[in-house]
Structure 1
């Protein structure tokens, strides 16, 4: 029985480390020490920060026993948040989440050289009583998918306490930025850009955001950054989950205009749920470029 447990634990650890190493690139870490709260996540931010403050206060009051309590699902975890602790050498000391499998391990040894440097910069910050924050990508223990995470952290002695929340939905501003980048790229080199979109180039596929392009003369998809099977199909026949004829609506919305938007129900590729999606449209010549963002609000009837 013990051998089976150890084997299962080792397998779980290896799977988790593979996810960690493949999905936490250096470029995903934000340089600023106090990353801005994304709109729509204010409640999650308050809960995560409150959980961190509670853990730090308990540790200062009761010391080392609190670390064991953090690693148990209890007062330092919620349905969406958990606290984790590493020391200034990079060893995982406590975690109420999936990183519990890393207890006792030096995380620094598991990272590539560039990421190890970034991690050491966090570990070397002096104790100041200030709560800092970072954004990066991490595996969400609830859905098993890699998502953006906003983490708060604070150094206490030789330990760094942290708690965070996931951001499975990009903001309207981020969607608008991707649309702008795609429009500029197509305006500069259309065929090359269409090829990159169809190859699912990560520049045009950011978390739950992706680009698709429609030939307005043929009224067909000519590029799609998520579902390549749609390329070459009739755009007018596109319908939302509830049957809303969104292909026709988008064509009507952009007719005679440079920009437009349409809201409807669609499946979020990150959460896997049916959510309200607002797609931003921009015309470049005879092409309609589109990027949509998701929310939990229902689209207008």
Structure 2
């Protein structure tokens, strides 16, 4: 089925183009990636300190992990598990779990992340696990990365929240979106891109799709009202034709990247965005991450 007929499934939505911030240049990884690396370095330093203290005093360190200011760094804190899954200490919100076996506990997305951590610790003395956890600072469940070390029968861990999706995560989502178009066909893929439960919307990451000939939006995971609208009308304050530029890139090269400004659905702020785009038959498919 030609994508022109797919587009006819969507009604044209008349709306003014979104207000966009001024375009600014970005480098690969962007400011968001630099912030994430800084948070990971802070987490590693706190983990090193906690492991050193545990090696020095053993289980007596748990009381310090629970209460001592030296084992906290702003939103970062230390927690400890036994290798059977029992929570032994926590300087954060998981303090309510101390004394309980958390091996089967799942995050908001249904991921048994503690079980994954225990399995990794059984095979290696250090590792990392990603999951979703409540951030008490902004009272939201957010992506979190935890770094851990196994010391004897204990697992010492420190985690940090990921404020922005990474370039690698954006590329992975784009690959998955393109594969879905090829495997299931454009109509089914477009429906999944637009659906909240379609598996293609998570935090500030989402898929957008544009018909190349008409330059109309077929899908937009963050702004469904854009579906059916003419992307040629979309401009930022400096007059940059975002959709037209994307279509030009993929028409010439098949894939590419573009920097522009867009509203972040998580922060609700205008931020610089770097999108990876790909031509799939008569459609442009893209995923972008926010760099600041």
Q: TM-score range by the shorter chain?
A: 0.7 to 0.9
From 187, 200, 204, give the equivalent of 1:204: 200
List gaps (5 residues or longer) in structure 1: 1-37, 297-301
SS at match of 2:44: helix
Output the TM-score relative to the length of structure 1: 0.71
1:26-77 per-residue CA deviation (whole Å, 9 max, x = no partner) reads: xxxxxxxxxxxx9644332222122112112223334445322222361111
In the alignment, the residues of structure 2 paired with residue 186 and residue 109 of structure 1 have an alpha-carbon distance, to the nearest angstrom, of 35
Assess, with a 3 A threshold, how the Cα gap between structure 1 residues 136 and 242 changes in structure 2: closer, same or farther: farther
Q: Could you list the structure 1 runs, at least 4 aligned residues long, displaced by more than 6 angstroms after superposition.
A: none
Answer 1 or 2: higher relative contact order, Cα 8 Å, separation at least 6.
2
In the alignment, the residues of structure 2 paired with residue 243 and residue 84 of structure 1 have an alpha-carbon distance, to the nearest angstrom, of 50
1:42 aligns with 2:40: no
Alignment of 1:1-301 (within 5 A): 40=34, 41-72=36-67, 74-108=69-103, 110=105, 115=112, 118=116, 120-121=118-119, 125=122, 130-188=125-183, 189-240=185-236, 244-296=240-292
SS at match of 1:107: coil
SS at match of 1:192: helix
SS at match of 2:168: helix
Superposed displacement of residue 202, structure 1: 4.4
Assess, with a 3 A threshold, how the Cα gap between structure 1 residues 258 and 210 changes in structure 2: closer, same or farther: same
Assess, with a 3 A threshold, how the Cα gap between structure 1 residues 89 and 252 changes in structure 2: closer, same or farther: closer
Superposed displacement of residue 215, structure 1: 1.8
Kept in 1, the 8 Å contact 2:87–2:102? The answer is yes
